[in-house]
């Protein structure tokens, strides 16, 4: 139930930005997972001052808030629980500044990632983070989840480009962290604290991002393998050889079949796996040498063919195939559980084998793809959530995947965050004492517990209480 007077109070702050119609609320109750929870209302501010006022109202009334950008996340982080009001930042979509001299962009959280990239590249600059959802996802959500992407192998994840944040604390106090300088080691690194916090500590309202010079030359190569283990070994061998590709992406046979069923042609459907390599730099001869060296290593480790894209259009077709995976999987089965484990590069081959064994044991289709160069794999479990027996097998398989990743020295998430999907396994990953410290930080910043409740921290029972 909506508390008496709450809608009127919010409409005084955001006259045209309070949604109460059932059809509007449903649209803000889910993300890229199959979790759904309809919020009691949605509020859409357009300024930091409005966000501050919304927070003050929520604090006074002890009403939980779930910050939300575009809702493309894959961990349930933007799904409102416990009667949370959705605080959507999609109207805060202005690029406030692009500075060539300082190499920074200042943006509001609702700016679409691909839109920012196009703007800065037109100025000869480069914003590297490239989540597969870059045409739909917003910078604010990328920061909240510390999103990555294919280019993270060479360039790092979103958090590596966050120079400064404006954040509204739970009680409505706005603070600024960091700055636009190249170096800043003053005090605690609060930028890092709020980056990846998944909206559990406050609402991000402004972001200052580091920009790089745009690489002048880009090349893409496709390596085809008859055994996925050879593809995994080749990925590790390329990096061990001292080559620095911008990206190494893995697609297994089932993933390619799903893409083909969705109308994307040109992939080798008789192969067990492919690797897509990206290389970039400022000198054509150097980039060509890197691509040639990558091809030689791939062939030495079992690639039956290595083909270099002849032009930008051919290269873009390969990357579009990679970005088409998520919608292709959605057509294969009614639902999918998208995982996001990350292991040391030396354990990639072992993790690939474990995923395939888990799929066989639990009689499930698990397409395997991901950013294999940095050990970040995305085994997606295809399923139908209407089938309780199948969903029990899905939960068991997901647990086995999480446990295998941690056992191999890895972690639960490389870029999607924890949200609802992985919270029951947090102690398994970070340990009892580190998790207790995180809880103390949460309690200090958000003593009333109103910011995005139900996320990150496990419920009693830990991994044994994991259910889908």
Q: What is the DSSP string of 346-402?
A: GGHHHHHHHHHHHHHHTT----EEEEGGGTEEEEEEEE-TT-HHHHHHHHHHHHHHH
Categorize the per-residue pLDDT at 3 as very low, low, confident or very high, splitting at 50, 70 and 90: confident
- Would you state the pLDDT for residue 51? 98
Structural domain of residue 80, as residue ranges?
6-88
> Is it the case that residue 325 has pLDDT exceeding 90?
yes
- Which of 148, 180, 213 terminates a domain? The answer is 213
Give 390-421 pLDDT, tens digit per residue: 999 999 999 999 999 999 999 999 999 999 99
pTM of the model: 0.96
Cβ atoms of residues 16 and 42 within 8 Å: no
CA 283 to chain centre: 31
What is the predicted pLDDT for the residue at 331? Answer: 92
pLDDT reading at 2 higher than 90: no
- What average pLDDT does the structure give for the chain? 96
50 domain residue, yes or no:
yes
- Compute the average pLDDT of residues 291-308: 98
The CATH number for 248's domain is 3.30.70.2190
Q: Are residues 124 and 154 in the same domain?
A: yes
| pLDDT number for residue 401 | 98
Residues 444, 339, single domain; the answer is yes
Segment 339-365, tens digit of pLDDT? 999 999 999 999 999 999 999 999 999
Position 295 confidence tier, pLDDT thresholds 50, 70, 90: very high
Q: Is residue 252, in this structure, part of any structural domain at all? A: yes
167 and 240 share a domain? no
Q: Domain for residue 255, yes or no?
A: yes
Token digits for 255?
A: 């993933």
Q: Is residue 27 part of a domain?
A: yes
Same domain, 183 and 233: no
Residue 206 and residue 224 share a domain = no
Q: Are 190 and 444 in contact (CB under 8 A)?
A: no
pLDDT tens-digit profile of 191-202? Answer: 999 999 999 999
How confident is the model over 432-457, as pLDDT tens digits?
999 999 999 999 999 999 999 999 99
Q: Examine the domain organization and report whether 145 and 182 are in the same domain.
A: yes
Q: So what's the pLDDT on residue 47?
A: 98
Rounded Cα distance between 158 and 138, Å, is 12
| pLDDT value, residue 243 | 95
User: Is 230 inside a domain boundary?
Assistant: yes
Residue 206 belongs to domain with CATH number: 3.30.465.10
Check which CATH number belongs to the domain holding 347 and give it: 3.30.70.2740
pLDDT in tens, 131-179: 999 999 999 999 999 999 999 999 999 999 999 999 999 999 999 999 9
pLDDT of residue 4: 75
Among candidate residues 170, 187, 213, the one where a domain is terminated: 213
- Contact (Cβ atoms closer than 8 angstroms) between residue 204 and residue 165: yes
Q: What is the mean pLDDT of residues 16-25?
A: 96
**Do residues 281 and 240 both lie within one domain?**
yes
Q: How many domains does the chain have?
A: 4
**310 and 358 share one domain:** no
**Looking at the predicted structure, is the pLDDT value of residue 1 above 70?**
no
447/344 same-domain check: yes
Structural domain includes residue 265: yes
Q: Are 101 and 211 in contact (CB under 8 A)?
A: no
Residue finishing a domain among 270, 292, 327: 327
Mean pLDDT of 226-244: 97
Query: Does 1 fall in a domain?
Result: no
The answer to whether position 23 is within a domain reads yes
Residue 27 banded pLDDT, cuts 50, 70, 90: very high
Confidence of residue 110 (pLDDT cuts 50, 70, 90): very high
């Amino acid at each position: 139930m909506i508390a008496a007077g709450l809608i009127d109070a919010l409409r005084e702050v955001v006259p045209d930005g309070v949604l109460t119609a059932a059809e509007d609320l449903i649209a803000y109750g889910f993300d890229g997972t199959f979790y759904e929870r309809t919020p009691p209302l949605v509020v859409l501010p357009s300024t930091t001052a409005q966000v501050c006022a919304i927070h003050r109202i929520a604090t006074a009334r002890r009403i939980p808030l779930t910050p939300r950008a575009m809702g493309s996340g894959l961990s349930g982080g933007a799904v409102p629980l416990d009667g949370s009001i959705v605080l959507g930042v999609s109207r805060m979509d202005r690029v406030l500044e692009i500075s060539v001299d300082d190499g920074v962009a200042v943006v509001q959280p609702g700016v679409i990632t691909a839109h920012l990239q196009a703007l800065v590249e037109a100025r000869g600059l480069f914003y590297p983070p490239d989540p597969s959802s870059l045409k739909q996802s917003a910078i604010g959500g990328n920061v909240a989840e510390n999103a990555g992407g294919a280019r993270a192998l060479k360039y790092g994840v979103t958090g590596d480009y966050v120079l400064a944040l404006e954040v509204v604390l739970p009680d409505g106090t706005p603070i600024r962290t960091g700055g636009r300088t190249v170096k800043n080691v003053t005090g605690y690194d609060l930028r890092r604290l709020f980056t990846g916090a998944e909206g559990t500590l406050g609402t991000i309202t402004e972001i200052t991002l580091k920009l790089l010079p745009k690489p002048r030359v880009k090349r893409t190569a496709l390596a085809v393998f008859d055994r996925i283990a050879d593809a995994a070994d080749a990925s590790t061998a390329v990096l061990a050889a001292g080559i620095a590709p911008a990206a190494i992406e893995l697609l297994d046979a089932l993933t390619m079949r799903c893409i083909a069923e969705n109308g994307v042609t040109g992939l080798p459907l008789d192969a067990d796996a492919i690797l897509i390599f990206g290389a970039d730099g400022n000198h054509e001869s150097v980039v060509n040498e890197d691509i040639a060296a990558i091809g030689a290593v791939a062939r030495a480790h079992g690639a039956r063919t290595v083909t270099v894209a002849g032009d930008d259009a051919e290269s873009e077709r390969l990357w579009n195939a990679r970005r088409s995976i998520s919608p292709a999987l959605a057509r294969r089965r009614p639902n999918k559980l998208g995982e996001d484990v990350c292991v040391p590069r030396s354990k990639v081959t072992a993790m690939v084998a474990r995923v395939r064994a888990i799929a066989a044991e639990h009689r499930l289709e698990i397409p395997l793809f991901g950013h294999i160069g940095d050990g970040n794999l995305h085994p997606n479990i295809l399923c139908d959530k209407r089938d309780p027996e199948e969903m029990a097998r899905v939960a068991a398989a997901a647990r086995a995947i999480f446990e295998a990743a941690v056992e191999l020295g890895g972690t639960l998430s490389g870029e999607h965050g924890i949200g609802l999907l992985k919270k029951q396994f947090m102690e398994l990953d970070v340990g009892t004492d580190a998790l207790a410290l995180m809880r103390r930080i949460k309690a200090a910043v958000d003593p009333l517990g109103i910011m995005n409740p139900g996320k990150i921290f496990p419920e009693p029972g830990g991994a044994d209480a994991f259910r889908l």
